[in-house]
Structure 1
C-alpha cells in the first residue's frame, strides 16, 4: 500500500511547481493539462481552465507528491488539517529549506532548537501548504 499527498493549488499549480523546483529541487515526473482530457459532454472543461494543470506528479527528495489546479474557484478555503514534514540532510540544509519555504509564506514557528532536535520551524508557504521542517539531529542523541 502507498499513501501519497495530493495537493490542490486552486489555479496556481504551475507557479507552485516552479517554486518547489527552485527552492526544494523538485522534479516534475508527470503533468497533464485540462485541455488534454478526452471530451466529456456531461462535464465540459470550464472556460479559462484549458491550460491549467489537471494532474501532476512531482518528487521532492525521495517523496512523490501529486497535485492539481483543482477547480480554480476563487475563494476556496486554504488547505487545513494536515502538514508536510520535511527533514533536511543536516541542520544547515534543513535551515536553508525552511528559509526557502518562508519566501512569501507565513512563519508559524521560527527556526530554532527545541527539546527534540537542534533545529525546527513551521511555515505556511505562499500556496497555503503547512511545512514542518526539521534537522535530523535529535536533542540528547548519543549516537
Structure 2
C-alpha cells in the first residue's frame, strides 16, 4: 500500500470517528486487528474492536481536532497526533463518576497497515490528566 493510500485510509478512519460512525471504523480494520488501549490490555479481532467502540459510545462523546498524520514511505505504518475534545456521559468502571464533564487532552495513535486495512491500533494519552479534568 502506498503512503498516499495509507494517509487516505487513516483520514477516513478519523472522519468516521468524528462522525460517530463506528460501523465504518470497524469496516476499515482487518479481521485480526490488534487494538491496544491506553492503560489497558490488547483486544484482538473485529468483534472485540466493535464491542470496545460500543462501550466508548455509551460512556463518552469525543471529537478529535488538530489531527496531524505521519506515514512511512511504504505505507505500512502510520501515526497520528491530535486533541481529544470530549464529554464524559456515563460512568466507566474504575473511573470517576460521570456527570457530563468535559475534557480536552492531547493523544496519539500508532497504526500498522496490511492489505489495505488497519491491522494494529495503539493509542496513548495521559490518563492522570483526564482524571484530573473530570474530577475538578
Indicate whether the TM-score tops 0.5: no
Pick the TM interval, shorter chain.
under 0.3
* Structure with greater strand percent: 2
Rg: which structure is higher?
1
* Structure with greater helix percent: 2
